[in-house]
Amino acid sequence: MEPEGVDRVADIKPTKLEWNLVVGVARIYRMPCQWISKDAYSMELVLQDKHGDRILCSIPCESVSIYECLMKENRTYSMSNFIVKVHRSGLKVTSHKYKLGVFLKTNARILSDDVFPFSPFRFTPFREIDEMCASNNIFLIDCIGQVVGKESPENIVTKSGQSSKRLRLYLEDVELSSPKFFVSSVLL
C-alpha cells in the first residue's frame, strides 16, 4: 500500500522544497572520476514512479559508500529531503527537465515490493528509436531484437582519455512483419 502524501515524479520542479516520492530504481550506474579512473565520481539512479514517469537521481562521491549498500535496482523506496536541480549537462537518461541531488540528510527507505507493480523495462519499438535519433532526443531505453550481425571491435579513446573498444551490433526487430534493422554500439 502506497503511503499518503506521495508526489508524482512528473510534478517535480525546484519551486517546491519538500517532496515525498515512492519510486522504483530502474537503473543504477556509476560515473567515473575523470582524474582517477577507479573512483566513482557519482552514483546515478533512474527512478520511476507508479505512473511510469522517470527522473535521474545523482549521488555525489562523498555519499556513494552510504547509498551503494542501500539502493538496489528493481527495489521500491520512499524518498524525501533531496535537492531538485535543472538537468543541464551529462548523459540525458530521462526526458525529465530536472534531476534530484542526494545529500547526507536525504531519506531513503526500502518498501515492500507490493507497493505498486514496478517494471524497470521500457521497451521501445525500433521506429520510435529512429524518431528519437532523428530529433536528437535520446535517453535510456530498452529494446528487444535478434542480433543478425556484428562488426569487428574497434579501438577508441573515451572523452576521459581511456582506451576502450566499441562493438557495433545489427539488431532485427522481430515483432514487425517486415524486418527493420537497428545498429547499436556497445562499449566493451
Q: Tens digit of pLDDT for each residue in 74-126?
A: 999 999 999 999 887 666 788 899 999 988 788 999 998 888 888 888 777 77
Whether 20 is covered by a domain: the verdict is yes
Regarding whether 52 and 94 lie in a shared domain, the answer is yes
Q: Is the pLDDT of residue 58 over 80?
A: yes
Nearest to 109, CA basis, from 27, 42, 21, 45? 21
CA distance 61 to 43: 7
The C-alpha cell that represents 97 in the structure block: 527537465
Full residue range of the structural domain in which residue 135 is found? 126-187
Task: Please tell me the pTM assigned to this model.
Answer: 0.76
Q: Is the CB of residue 8 less than 8 Å from the CB of residue 96?
A: no
Q: 43 lies in a domain?
A: yes
Q: Is 76 inside any structural domain?
A: yes
- Whether 31 and 75 map to the same domain: the answer is yes
Residue 55 pLDDT greater than 60, yes or no: yes
The answer to whether residue 139 scores a pLDDT higher than 80 is: no
* Residue 84 and residue 144 in one domain: no
On whether both 42 and 91 belong to a single domain, the answer is yes
Say which residues have a Cβ less than 8 Å from residue 24's Cβ, sequence separation at least 6. Answer: 47, 48, 49, 74, 75, 76, 77, 116, 118, 120
Q: Do 101 and 156 fall within a single domain?
A: no
Beta bridge partners of 82: none
**Residue of higher predicted confidence among 54 and 159:** 54
With respect to residue 116, please indicate whether it lies within any of the assigned structural domains.
no
121 in a structural domain? no
Split into its structural domains, the chain has a count of 2
